[in-house]
Structure 1
Amino acid sequence: MLLSLSWLREFTPYEGAAEELGDRLTMLGLELEDILHPYDAISSIVVGYVAECALHPDSDHLHCCKVDAGQGQLLDIVCGAPNVAAGQKVPVALVGSRLPDGTVIKKAKLRGAPSFGMICSERELGLTEDHSGIMVLPDSAAVGARLVDVLELDREVLDISITPNRADCLSVLGLARETALAFNLPLNIPELPLRLDEEGPESIVPIDIEAPDLCRLYAGRVISRVKVAPSPMRVRHRLHAVGVRPISNIVDVTNYILFECGQPLHAFDLDRLRGGRIVVKTAREGEKFVTLDGQERVLSARDLCICDAERPVGLAGVMGGLNTEITADSRNVFLESAVFRPGTIRKTSRRLGLSSEASYRFERGIDQRRTVWALDRACALMAAFGGGVARRGLSIEEPRPFVPARIDFRPARADALLGVRLSPEFDEKTFAGMGCVVEKSGDVWRVEQPSWRPDLTREADLIEEVGRVHGLDAIPPVLPPVQLDLARAAEPESRYAFWLRLRRWGAGLGLNEAVNYSFVGHKDLDHLGLPVAGRISIMNPLSAEQDVLRTALAPGLLQDLRNNLAQGAQGLRLFELAHVFEADSASETTARETGMLGVLLYGARHDAAWPHAEADMDYADLKGVVEHLLHFLHLPAPVCRQAEAHPFLLPCVETLVEGRCIGRMGRVKPALAEAFHARKDVWLAELNLETLRELYDRAVARFTPLPVYPPVRRDITVMAGPELKVGQVLDHLAGLNLPLLEAAALVDCFEPQGGPGVEAGRNLTFRLTFRHAGRTLKDAEVDKEREKVAESLVKNLGVRV
């Protein structure tokens, strides 16, 4: 919303700076985006007086003028405009001035005649598109004065972002109410009395509302003896300052009232309304209609139309029709002012891709009690601008009169929620400044909603209002007391607490958390070979890349990989906690949500430091992350087995805990990973958090005393063929049940390069940890135990050590 500061001051006597007003409105929830100075580019233009004007001796269209620009001498200026004449007051750009299009005025000679400036047209000044001749100023303009001062142009315009619930602030009047409330100023609405043509006959256009649920009020007046002409200079320049192109006195009034009062209006050429009546009804399916922009629109049965006796003449609340537009030949006008159901206007506007200033306001709600008032104000302006006379008679139908909400308000409840003590006098003054009617009765007040605040429907809304007027920034931040009930200490933690625990685990392990949209593209899921069955498509997607709910976390994590590689990352360790979605007709929402944990590893295992800079992460790193998670959750070590064919993982390993599958992990197929710019192996795991939570809730933590005596470690290397699995060796070591053998872990795997005479195989190095609970072990004891382990491996597994 563009707000002219000078326009605002016509409603409330605010004398402060634009920056101060912007700061205060921002704290009230109306954020200041920018402060514009629309006419700074012509601040150097001055008023000149054409003392003499003669034809150029060597041209049939140029004029040699002598102009008094307030510098004490007459300036020679050559002008090519056909309407320049002696005795005029005109805008003059002196030598050195810069015009809005970037042109710098210099001394020049035009066909031998010197020129020391330029007499400007409205288009050259950036005021309008009129370039038919120079701009002629009123005789009252002072010679030498700045043009922006003479025309009283809007010097400062605030660009304010309005939240969707504050439709009342989409006008100067609405923002004036907020300003008056914020600075304790009076609100004065300049009256424009409507003078009707008492001598002429009454003129009423019959109105038939066939869709009363979609049109709450429709009113109109007839203006006759219309003379379509340019609007007064002040109106044209004010509209230009807020980004509206002036058209004519009739159309400009509708735009002026829209920005001033927030009520969209539309003017029909009454002589082109067939049957002389208005019918408000929905369109026929497939009906075609040409709007004012010249585009043919195909309508649906859900679109609300304004029709005459035979055809549509306007898309209700969106745009009028070309068949009844105001032209230079229009002599009788029917001016419309209405209130439509917001949802209907919003759907039509979105479906047709046709947004207008009117639809933007209708979509959010209109002040129904000021609809007729705005209509009369517009008719008065048209008469004042010489655009015609208003005929007697108001055409109106109101199938759904406005009924204000009456809300119970408890001052004590407001203080408790806001955490600050507000006096009842402050609350009452705030509501009165908002336009509410307050009935105080004990501890519970009855507050009546004003017609321009459709967002006030419950007590929480009123509490928010007194809070923001008091200043949410003025409420001291105080942490609420947290009381832990020991009686509930043994209860399972909440879902939020469980996910928070996992987030802390991931961050503590050195992983970076990824937060992705729940929306992905069908093409992303197709690329990974994920099944089509069970997908939930988005009816109104933000883009083609976000047209379906994700069924796996992999698409988002792989997109994160692509983005990080594009930024020069060499290694990546990501985790994500999020939901995946699958269609489920048995669910209340027709969608089943499953919490998942995704882990992605890529690139260097260590930071770029000698001597490990070239070592890349592999399956062992991914498996270690999963095992660390299970240990963190007090769950037993997983059982890993090769899974059946997987859409995008090869190899793929299925992870089981206590016989239940908790997820899968493996390497993303290189052909698929290449599309995400991966040049190394991408390791990915997806774990089911619902299953993990069930296992976690059943887990019982058992405590054992910390060992007192130190461990002794020995390494043993097993040389075996490629068919021997590491798990077989570890299971065998665990089955030996040696009292001193505490643990065994794989620490290295070496595969010699094949060649003539070289037997294929692997060298697996395991680290054995020995410990005695009651004393320190001696080397001889440990060596003896190691030999037992070696003999058992050779005898039972057929390996060499």
Structure 2
Amino acid sequence: MLLSLSWLREFVPYEGTAQELGDRLTMLGLELEEIVRPYDDIASIVVGHVVECADHPGSDHLHICKVDAGQGELLDIVCGAPNVAAGQKVPVALVGTTMPGGLVIKKAKLRGAPSCGMICSERELGLTDDHSGIMVLPETAVPGTLLVDTLELDREVLDISITPNRADCLSVIGLARETAQAFGLPFSIPERQCVEDGPAVELPPIDIRDPDLCWLYTGRVITGSSIAPSPMRIRHRLHAVGVRPISNIVDVTNYILMECGQPLHSFDLDKLEGGRIIVSRAADGEKFVTLDGQERTLDARDLCIRDAGRAVGLAGVMGGLNTEIDENSRNVFLESAVFRPGTIRKTSRRLGLSSEASYRFERGIDQQRTRWALDRACAMMAELAGGKVCPGVAVAEPRPFAPVLMDFRPARANALLGVELGADFCERVLSGLGCEIRHKGESWRVAQPSWRPDLTREADLIEEVGRMHGLDTIAPVLPPIARDLARAGEPESRFAFWSRIKRWGAGLGLNEAINYSFVGHKDLDHLGLPQEGRIAIMNPLSAEQDALRTWLAPGLLNSLRNNLAQGAAGLRLFELAHVFHARPLEDAHDTGATETGKIGILLYGARYDSAWPQPEGDMEYTDLKGVVEHLLGFLHLSGARYRQADDHPFLLPCVELMLPDGAGEVQAGVLGRVRQDMADAFHARKAIWLAELDLEVLRRLHDATRVRFRALPVYPPVRRDITVMAAPQVQVAQIMEHVRGLRLPLLEDEDMVLQDCFEPAGGDERNLTFRLTFRHAERTLKDAEVDKEREKVAQSLVKHLGVRV
């Protein structure tokens, strides 16, 4: 919303700077985007007085003018405009001036005549598109003064970002009301008296076919209007706030729109067939040409304004070309209405047609001021176009405005905000907002003002008094959190379980990624994921986000690509989120989606940060497996088994994580390397190691785990290494499982680890070195006892697995 500072001051006597106003509005939730100075490009243009004007002897259209520009001497300026004449006050660009289009004015000779400046047209000044002749200023203009001062042009315009709930601030009056509240200033609206001095005419009857879509429709007739350009003050004010001036009648509707927030539309009354107005839905496939000259195809969801035989307007969005105001229009039917916001929003988005009117109708209109805005516009039209306002108003209001009644408790406001506001302050703020306080006590009864459709409950009123107090002035104090011992031992919540895993990931040195739940079908197709079970988005924000994710991998891989584009050499990411799969609907309230919690882990690039003096090397499968095993240890889950998956859409090699579950096993996730042909699309030049685990399975197994405690060992351990020479098909897990199955009394099988793996070049065996830990609970072991136990392990491996030791 562009706010003219001079326009604002017509309603509130604010004398501060634009920056001070913008800063205060920002703290009230109306953020200042920037301060625009729309006429800086013509700040050096001065007023000139054409003293003499003679035809150029060497041209049939040029004129040689002597101009008093307040420089102490008359300037010779050659001008080609057909309307230049002696005695005029005109805008003059002096030598050295840079025009809005970039042209620099220099001394020149035109057909032999010297020219020391330029007399400007409105288009050359960037004010309008009019280039039919030079701009003629009022007789009261003083030569040598700045043009922007003479025309009282807006030096500063604030660009205010309005949140969707604050429809009341999409007008100068709405922002003036906020300014008055913020600075404790009086607020008043200068009245425009609408005089019904026109002839009595039969007003068009209003027929609203669907009262749910149109809550109020009013209209007036103005006769005898003369279509012409608006006065300079109106045109320049509209130009300053980004609205293109067109003609006096149309400019008035735009002026009231920006001033009051009420969209209006003017019809050429003589072009309305049958002398009636019908508000009804469009027919499927109906064609309609809007004011921009584009033919639109409508359907039954769109609301139209019709005369007796055809559509003449797209309700709340744009009028029709068939009834537009042109230079021949004399009689005007002016519309002021209130439509259901959702209907206007859907039509505007479906047709890709957004206007200043639809932008406001989508957010809500002040229904109580709709008739008032109509009368205000009629008064301006009568003044600017010379028309006569006919007696009477055509009105249909199937849904009168009824304010929402809310309870407000000052004590509750103090408790929520954490400050003592005082009942007098709360009353002053609510009254200043326009609320009606109908009852006071411990609980007040407050009626909503018609221009604040966002105020519907007590929390909204508390927010308002907090805003005016200054949310930025409330000291940030963390609330005390007390845990009741009576709840000790209750099952851990899902949130607490996920939070604990997030702390684990951060503590391990992984960076948490948070990605959208939306991905693209093309992302899922690229990873070879099946079409079955996908949930497509009916109204996606973009083509890249048209489906709900079925895996976390697409988001993590896109995060990798973004980080690589920023020059990252290595990456360690984890993400906890839901994935979604379609399933049959079970009842009317079912969403048809299954949400499963997953944790994704991605490792890429260098194992160590370059800042640390560590050996060089890239991360590999053992790093990923180590992270997964660390997570399992954190959750007290043991007995994990890894088996190679024969076929996976995007991991090669791929390993399935199997965990014991009662008498059997359950798959808890997969881990492996992203296929290189797929990794190339994410700009990866090294291996991408990725794991995706099912949090629902991990949580269930974690809850079933019973942690047991035992005394710490007193006597020292004795460790021995054993190297096994085995064929490639003998797996490490198979060897460790066999050793643990021996259940030797002195062997601590939980501490058995693989120390080294060596594959001799050209050999058909690999050397696996394991470290065994021996300990006795009641005494210190002797070397002979340990060697004997080690020998038992060696002989058993040779006998049962066919390896060499």
TM-score bracket, normalised by the shorter chain, equals over 0.9
Paired amino acid for 1:422? L
Equivalent residue for 2:276? 277
For 2:151 and 2:613, how far apart are their aligned partners in 1? 76
The Cα shift of 1:448 comes to 0.9
1:48–1:143: 8 Å Cα contact kept in structure 2? yes
1:518–1:550: 8 Å Cα contact kept in structure 2? yes
1:627–1:637: 8 Å Cα contact kept in structure 2? no
Equivalent residue for 1:486? 485
- In the superposition, the TM-score normalised over structure 1's length comes to 0.97
Kindly tell me: are residues 663 and 124 of structure 1, through their superposed partners in 2, closer, same or farther at Cα, counting changes over 3 Å? same
For 2:62 and 2:644, how far apart are their aligned partners in 1? 91
2:621–2:672: 8 Å Cα contact kept in structure 1? yes
The Cα shift of 1:122 comes to 0.7
The Cα shift of 1:529 comes to 2.0
State whether structure 2 residue 682 is matched by structure 1 residue 676: yes
Kindly tell me: are residues 717 and 607 of structure 1, through their superposed partners in 2, closer, same or farther at Cα, counting changes over 3 Å? farther
Paired amino acid for 1:318? V
The Cα shift of 1:319 comes to 0.4
For 1:610 and 1:337, how far apart are their aligned partners in 2? 71
Paired amino acid for 1:373? W
Paired amino acid for 1:567? Q
Equivalent residue for 2:19? 19
Gaps (5+ residues) in structure 1?
A: none
2:570–2:605: 8 Å Cα contact kept in structure 1? yes
For 1:611 and 1:368, how far apart are their aligned partners in 2? 71
Structure 1 range deviating more: 439-448 or 236-245: 439-448
User: How many pairs align?
Assistant: 796
For 2:98 and 2:715, how far apart are their aligned partners in 1? 89
Structure 1 range deviating more: 632-641 or 368-377: 632-641
For 1:753 and 1:317, how far apart are their aligned partners in 2? 80
Structure 1 range deviating more: 582-591 or 433-442: 582-591
State whether structure 2 residue 672 is matched by structure 1 residue 666: yes
Q: 1:746 aligns with which of 754, 778, 782?
A: 754
Equivalent residue for 2:769? 765
Equivalent residue for 2:725? 719
Equivalent residue for 1:506? 505
Equivalent residue for 1:224? 223
1:306–1:314: 8 Å Cα contact kept in structure 2? yes
Kindly tell me: are residues 710 and 105 of structure 1, through their superposed partners in 2, closer, same or farther at Cα, counting changes over 3 Å? farther
After TM superposition, the structure 1 = structure 2 runs for residues 645-660 of structure 1, keeping only pairs within 5 Å, are 645-658=647-660, 659-660=665-666
Structure 1 range deviating more: 677-686 or 574-583: 677-686
The Cα shift of 1:414 comes to 1.1
For 1:9 and 1:709, how far apart are their aligned partners in 2? 88
After TM superposition, the structure 1 = structure 2 runs for residues 444-455 of structure 1, keeping only pairs within 5 Å, are 444-455=443-454
Kindly tell me: are residues 458 and 137 of structure 1, through their superposed partners in 2, closer, same or farther at Cα, counting changes over 3 Å? same
The Cα shift of 1:614 comes to 5.0
1:631–1:637: 8 Å Cα contact kept in structure 2? no
Paired amino acid for 1:485? D
For 1:703 and 1:104, how far apart are their aligned partners in 2? 88
For 1:420 and 1:439, how far apart are their aligned partners in 2? 25
Moved over 6 A (4+): 609-612
Query: Could you list the per-position Cα deviations for residues 430-472 of structure 1 after superposition, in whole angstroms to 9, with x for gaps in the alignment?
Result: 1110111112332111111111011111111111111111111
For 2:612 and 2:513, how far apart are their aligned partners in 1? 29
Equivalent residue for 2:84? 84
The 3-state SS of whatever aligns with 1:384 is helix
For 1:793 and 1:83, how far apart are their aligned partners in 2? 111
1:630–1:637: 8 Å Cα contact kept in structure 2? no
For 1:709 and 1:57, how far apart are their aligned partners in 2? 120
The Cα shift of 1:114 comes to 1.4
1:203–1:392: 8 Å Cα contact kept in structure 2? no
Equivalent residue for 2:530? 531
Equivalent residue for 2:114? 114
State whether structure 2 residue 595 is matched by structure 1 residue 593: yes
Kindly tell me: are residues 451 and 732 of structure 1, through their superposed partners in 2, closer, same or farther at Cα, counting changes over 3 Å? same
Equivalent residue for 2:299? 300
For 1:740 and 1:704, how far apart are their aligned partners in 2? 17
Paired amino acid for 1:789? V
Equivalent residue for 2:413? 414
2:409–2:443: 8 Å Cα contact kept in structure 1? yes
Equivalent residue for 1:554? 553
The Cα shift of 1:777 comes to 4.8
The 3-state SS of whatever aligns with 1:103 is coil
The Cα shift of 1:13 comes to 0.5
State whether structure 2 residue 358 is matched by structure 1 residue 356: no
Structure 1 range deviating more: 608-617 or 466-475: 608-617
Equivalent residue for 1:62? 62
Query: Could you list the per-position Cα deviations for residues 750-785 of structure 1 after superposition, in whole angstroms to 9, with x for gaps in the alignment?
Result: 22232xxxx312111222233344455555554454
After TM superposition, the structure 1 = structure 2 runs for residues 535-546 of structure 1, keeping only pairs within 5 Å, are 535-546=534-545
Paired amino acid for 1:727? A
For 2:107 and 2:789, how far apart are their aligned partners in 1? 105
After TM superposition, the structure 1 = structure 2 runs for residues 438-449 of structure 1, keeping only pairs within 5 Å, are 438-449=437-448
Query: Could you list the per-position Cα deviations for residues 27-82 of structure 1 after superposition, in whole angstroms to 9, with x for gaps in the alignment?
Result: 11111111111011111111111111111121221111111111111111111111
Paired amino acid for 1:23? D
Paired amino acid for 2:468? V
State whether structure 2 residue 142 is matched by structure 1 residue 138: no
Paired amino acid for 2:4? S
The Cα shift of 1:702 comes to 1.7
Equivalent residue for 1:638? 640
For 1:212 and 1:508, how far apart are their aligned partners in 2? 60
Kindly tell me: are residues 707 and 110 of structure 1, through their superposed partners in 2, closer, same or farther at Cα, counting changes over 3 Å? farther
The Cα shift of 1:673 comes to 2.2
The Cα shift of 1:609 comes to 7.8
The 3-state SS of whatever aligns with 1:297 is strand
For 2:790 and 2:754, how far apart are their aligned partners in 1? 16
After TM superposition, the structure 1 = structure 2 runs for residues 562-581 of structure 1, keeping only pairs within 5 Å, are 562-581=561-580
1:171–1:261: 8 Å Cα contact kept in structure 2? yes
- In the superposition, the TM-score normalised over structure 2's length comes to 0.96
For 1:723 and 1:202, how far apart are their aligned partners in 2? 101
Equivalent residue for 2:385? 386
The Cα shift of 1:393 comes to 1.7
Query: Could you list the per-position Cα deviations for residues 718-766 of structure 1 after superposition, in whole angstroms to 9, with x for gaps in the alignment?
Result: 2111111101111122123333332211122222232xxxx31211122
Equivalent residue for 1:695? 701
1:194–1:377: 8 Å Cα contact kept in structure 2? yes
State whether structure 2 residue 31 is matched by structure 1 residue 31: yes
Structure 1 range deviating more: 371-380 or 632-641: 632-641
For 2:303 and 2:773, how far apart are their aligned partners in 1? 81
1:622–1:684: 8 Å Cα contact kept in structure 2? yes
Paired amino acid for 2:758? F
The Cα shift of 1:684 comes to 1.7
For 1:705 and 1:94, how far apart are their aligned partners in 2? 97
Kindly tell me: are residues 287 and 30 of structure 1, through their superposed partners in 2, closer, same or farther at Cα, counting changes over 3 Å? same
The 3-state SS of whatever aligns with 2:159 is strand
The Cα shift of 1:660 comes to 2.3
For 2:173 and 2:551, how far apart are their aligned partners in 1? 51
Paired amino acid for 2:656? E
Equivalent residue for 1:473? 472
1:203–1:222: 8 Å Cα contact kept in structure 2? no
Structure 1 range deviating more: 740-749 or 360-369: 740-749
Structure 1 range deviating more: 598-607 or 115-124: 598-607
Paired amino acid for 1:600? L
Kindly tell me: are residues 737 and 319 of structure 1, through their superposed partners in 2, closer, same or farther at Cα, counting changes over 3 Å? same
For 1:668 and 1:282, how far apart are their aligned partners in 2? 54
The 3-state SS of whatever aligns with 1:500 is helix
State whether structure 2 residue 97 is matched by structure 1 residue 97: yes
Gaps (5+ residues) in structure 2?
A: none
The 3-state SS of whatever aligns with 1:795 is helix
Query: Could you list the per-position Cα deviations for residues 584-617 of structure 1 after superposition, in whole angstroms to 9, with x for gaps in the alignment?
Result: 3237222111111011122333334899755332
The Cα shift of 1:793 comes to 2.6
2:669–2:691: 8 Å Cα contact kept in structure 1? yes
State whether structure 2 residue 337 is matched by structure 1 residue 338: yes
After TM superposition, the structure 1 = structure 2 runs for residues 237-316 of structure 1, keeping only pairs within 5 Å, are 237-316=236-315
2:249–2:385: 8 Å Cα contact kept in structure 1? no
Paired amino acid for 1:304? L
For 1:3 and 1:375, how far apart are their aligned partners in 2? 22
Q: 2:620 aligns with which of 574, 596, 618?
A: 618
For 2:608 and 2:721, how far apart are their aligned partners in 1? 24
For 1:78 and 1:269, how far apart are their aligned partners in 2? 43
